[in-house]
Amino acid sequence: MSGMTELVHLAVAEGVATITLDSPHNKNALSQQLTGELLAHLESAGADEAVRVIVVRSALDVFCSGADLSEATSVGMGVGAQRMVDVQRAIVANPKPVVARVAGPVRAGGIGIVAAADISLATDTSSYALTEVRLGLAAATISLTVIPRLTDRAAALTFLTGNTFDGVEAAQLGLVTSAFPADELDENLDAVLASLLKAVPQGLRETKKLLNRELLADIDARGTDLAELSASLFASSAAQEAMLAFLNRKKK
């Protein structure tokens, strides 16, 4: 990626690795470059003995706009769909607790990052929508982490309608851990980080393994098949037509 502007930044201070999504040109869409850098930083932070906790956040007023539809309609999603599985697995299997700091809109694939995190703290005005159905798609790869966070009824409502819901409802549904007024988010994030930093690393690592054992096994068992399903749906004529129409509306 020589000569390319970095889209994901990593900073380590006082035991906390902060991974910041910073791709303003596409509102942190999950391009191959962004997911590649995110995976690299998750691996680096997980292996760094100075890191006790990982925070994933956005530098923008949008947390993540979902799949990069421009990329999906040009080069396809063969790589992108598998990368989405890999990102979720990298968060779930990371030996360090991963905390998502969520502010602003989160759409489609970005919700997989929120769901995969061990703890997700959000503003009450953050917004979420599983918009795949409106583009002829299915939330296939992110179903691995999103469905386990929701009741069956909540999953059906959010996956089938594509309707938008806010941070308060996201907390009620179990998608995020807690939602706060925007001016209280960082105070509450600091309090959670302080608690996590009191723990012995071995205790955090082994406890996280216990909590995520079944989730990780399911990702490993079904991740490839769901990535292939997602890629095939993105390549379908119905989805290509819907995505191009959506991109054309955005240009107007």
Nearest Cα residue to 66 out of 94, 35, 91, 41: 35
pLDDT tens digits for the chain (252 residues)?
456 899 999 999 999 999 999 999 999 999 999 999 999 999 999 999 999 999 999 999 999 999 998 888 777 778 999 999 999 999 999 999 999 999 999 999 999 999 999 999 999 999 999 999 999 999 999 999 999 999 999 999 999 999 999 999 999 999 999 999 999 999 999 999 999 999 999 999 999 999 999 999 999 999 999 999 999 999 999 999 999 998 888 776
For the purposes of burial, counting CB atoms within 10 Å of the CB of 78, is it exposed (0-12), middle (13-18) or buried (19 or more)?
middle
E-state strands within 15-52: 16-21
**Sign of the C-alpha dihedral, residues 151, 156, 65, 4?**
positive
pTM above 0.75, yes or no: yes
Task: Please tell me the predicted confidence (pLDDT) of residue 1.
Answer: 45
Task: Please tell me the predicted confidence (pLDDT) of residue 88.
Answer: 98
Q: Cα dist. 208→14, 198, 213 in Å?
A: 21, 15, 8
May I ask the CATH architecture of the domain 8-185? Answer: Alpha-Beta Complex (3.90)
Task: Please tell me the predicted confidence (pLDDT) of residue 162.
Answer: 97
Rounded distance between C-alpha atoms, residue 182 and residue 86, angstroms = 30
User: What is the helix (H) or strand (E) element at residue 232, kind and residue range?
Assistant: helix 201-235
Rounded distance between C-alpha atoms, residue 231 and residue 197, angstroms = 40
Task: Please tell me the predicted confidence (pLDDT) of residue 29.
Answer: 96
- Asked if 120 contacts 175 with a C-beta cutoff of 8 angstroms, the reply is yes
Rounded distance between C-alpha atoms, residue 175 and residue 114, angstroms = 7
User: What is the helix (H) or strand (E) element at residue 55, kind and residue range?
Assistant: strand 53-58
Task: Please tell me the predicted confidence (pLDDT) of residue 70.
Answer: 85
